[in-house]
């Protein structure tokens, strides 16, 4: 999908943000993201440093700043539900999130959310997801897990759809700004996949691994807020239904978050 197409798609949103042209900005773009090797392979990625963070015991998942294996009762270790034409439920020790086909082309959400009271500069969010084939039937993209930062004005999430997989960043600072980073390697669906998304605010980059293999290495973020920030974890599915109303479904398990404190 080209940048011009994205601008047309979000055009009505942009106009609504600033109908009187009072300086509220808007932009949408897309680019092919970095692959497994960053532009500077001589500077390898470093592991996240959790020094100083009080870690929570997560059983088989190890120790992390936050974790949920969905073995308890709803909402588990998460705090709130964010649901619009959607359902979140625990089934067989996992989160099953689904959005129904709405009567009109509106955003549908089936998320659990957890604010984490740690001010960090780098965040590593991991989870296991099985994205149902129904999420790939139309032209809409289905976001699964993501992080909200910057006083809830910056959101970065993994997306899936018939046009490929993406990392999408959205900024609501003085308007609506969206950048879609297309992932070069297709992410399997219809089976469990281990995802790790590493967001580094200090470097303003995002990396992604799938089943332990890097598929996006230190891709530059366009709208990343400055560190430090407190993260909110979102787990489930979100669909904007820009191409007409469509359903989506994903099974999410073994969510963990690691935080590197700001120096």
The model's pTM:
0.89
Model confidence at 2: pLDDT above 60: no
103-135 per-position pLDDT tens digit: 766 789 999 999 999 999 999 999 999 999 877
224-234 per-position pLDDT tens digit: 999 999 999 99
57-109 per-position pLDDT tens digit: 999 999 999 999 999 999 999 999 999 999 999 999 999 999 988 776 678 99
CA triplet 231, 238, 218: central angle to 5 degrees? 50
In the numeric block, the tokens 């996006």 are attached to 216
H-assigned helices in 84-139: none
* Residue 182: HSE in the Cβ half-sphere, 13 Å Cα cutoff: 12
Contact between residue 179 and residue 222 where contact means Cβ atoms under 8 Å apart: yes
Contact between residue 123 and residue 258 where contact means Cβ atoms under 8 Å apart: yes
CA triplet 204, 80, 106: central angle to 5 degrees? 75
For the domain made up of 48-151+188-261, give the CATH fold: Jelly Rolls (2.60.120)
CB atoms < 10 A from the CB of 31, how many? 13
Q: Note the pLDDT of residue 151.
A: 86
Q: What is the DSSP letter of 104?
A: S
199-235 per-position pLDDT tens digit: 999 999 999 999 999 999 999 999 999 999 999 999 9
Q: Note the pLDDT of residue 41.
A: 62
Q: Note the pLDDT of residue 12.
A: 34
What DSSP string describes 218-261?
EEEPSSPPPSPB--EEEEEEEE--TTS---EEEEEEEEEEEEEE
235-254 per-position pLDDT tens digit: 999 998 877 778 899 999 99
Q: Note the pLDDT of residue 121.
A: 97
Contact between residue 208 and residue 168 where contact means Cβ atoms under 8 Å apart: no
SS3 state of residue 28:
strand
Q: Note the pLDDT of residue 37.
A: 72
Cβ neighbours of residue 161 under 8 Å, at least 6 residues apart? 135, 136, 138, 139, 140, 141, 142
Closest CA to 194 of 115, 124, 260: 124
* Residue 255: HSE in the Cβ half-sphere, 13 Å Cα cutoff: 25
Q: 123 pairs with which residues across the strands? A: 199, 259
Q: Cis check for the bond before 145: say yes or no (omega within 30 of 0).
A: no
Strand 25-32 versus strand 175-182 pairing type: parallel
Mean pLDDT of 34-50: 77
d(CA 128, CA 197): 12
Please give the mean pLDDT across all residues of the chain: 87
């Amino acid at each position: 999908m080209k940048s011009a197409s994205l601008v047309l798609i979000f055009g009505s949103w942009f106009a609504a943000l600033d109908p009187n042209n009072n300086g509220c900005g808007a932009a949408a773009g897309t680019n092919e993201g970095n692959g497994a090797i960053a532009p500077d392979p001589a500077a390898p990625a470093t592991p996240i440093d959790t020094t100083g963070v009080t870690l929570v015991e997560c059983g088989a998942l190890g120790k992390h700043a936050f974790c949920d294996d969905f073995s308890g009762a709803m909402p588990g270790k998460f705090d709130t539900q964010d649901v619009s034409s959607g359902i979140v439920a625990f089934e067989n020790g996992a989160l099953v999130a689904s959005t129904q086909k709405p009567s009109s082309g509106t955003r549908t959400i089936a998320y659990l959310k957890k604010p984490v009271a740690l001010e960090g500069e780098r965040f590593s969010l991991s989870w296991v997801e099985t994205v149902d084939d129904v999420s790939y039937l139309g032209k809409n993209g289905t976001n699964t897990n993501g992080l909200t930062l910057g006083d809830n004005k910056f959101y970065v999430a993994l997306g899936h759809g018939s046009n490929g997989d993406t990392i999408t960043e959205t900024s609501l600072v003085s308007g609506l700004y969206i950048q879609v980073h297309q992932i070069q390697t297709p992410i399997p669906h219809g089976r469990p996949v281990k995802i790790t998304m590493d967001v580094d605010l200090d470097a303003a980059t995002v990396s992604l691994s799938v089943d332990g293999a890097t598929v996006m290495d230190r891709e530059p973020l366009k709208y990343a807020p400055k560190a430090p920030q407190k993260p909110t974890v979102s787990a489930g599915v979100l669909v904007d239904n820009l191409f007409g109303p469509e359903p989506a479904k994903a099974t999410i398990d073994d969510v963990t978050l690691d935080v590197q404190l700001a120096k």
